A and B are shown apart, each in its own frame.
Chain A
Amino acid sequence: EVQLVESGGGLVQPGGSLRLSCAASGFTFSNYWMHWVRQAPGKGLVWVSRINSDGSSRTYADSVQGRFTISRDNARNTLYLEMNGLRAEDTAVYYCTRHRYVEYFQYWGQGTLVTVSS
């Protein structure tokens, strides 16, 4: 069974940093591109970032470019999102998800809530 389990969310002050993790199981992690998608409270889904299967290619939404870094550890079957310079507008539930050949998202984690507030 495919499982994606996010962790690392919490309350952080504006300008602060946080690292999210996504532990993957039930599939060959190193074969898949991985993504982060976020959802602000009461709002819609917004794609944040993606990383290819071996970690050599990374893409970001303009809103997080230069502040967030996506990475992965294929030996540990874990995806990461390092978030720096956090702003109030980064407050959201962050989901990890995956794709292999085509970029629709069949499996999602349960999400982890990041709250940026003083």
Chain B
Amino acid sequence: EVVMTQSPATLSVSPGERATLSCRASQSVSSHLAWYQQKPGQAPRLLIYGVSTRATGVPARFSGSGSGTEFTLTISSLQSEDFAVYYCQQYNNLPQTFGQGTKVEIK
């Protein structure tokens, strides 16, 4: 199966700062890469699909980039509601696989 590796495990950021999260695939997943946000006690929320397309209602401060095996989620100016855990997911190969998550915490 395709192994998804996210880094860093934890990212400490001050409100208003930029956050850059990385996701690496063990083999090419083409453009079949999504990002999710999860807050404690809640279901995941789809943020980005197809590497860079924002889901409905997702603010423009969230952006995705990359291709093949290296991907990035950027949050341009962190708001209080953005502190959460973020997961990447590849859906190019079965089984779909998720990264282990990056926790974005308040610095």
Residue positions of A touching B, CB distance < 8 A: 44-47, 59, 61-62, 95, 102-106, 108-111
Contact = CB atoms under 8 A, between A and B. Distances in A.
27 contacts: A44-B87, A44-B99, A45-B44, A45-B89, A45-B98, A46-B98, A47-B95, A47-B96, A47-B97, A47-B98, A59-B94, A59-B95, A102-B32, A102-B91, A103-B91, A103-B96, A104-B32, A104-B34, A104-B46, A104-B49, A104-B50, A104-B89, A104-B91, A105-B44, A105-B89, A106-B46, A108-B45
Size category of the B interface is 20 to 34
A106 B98 contact: no
Contacts of A62: 95
Contacts of B99: 44
Nearest to B34: A104
Given A47-B96, A104-B34, A104-B91, A109 B101 contact: no
Contacts of A109: 43
A46 B55 CA distance: 21
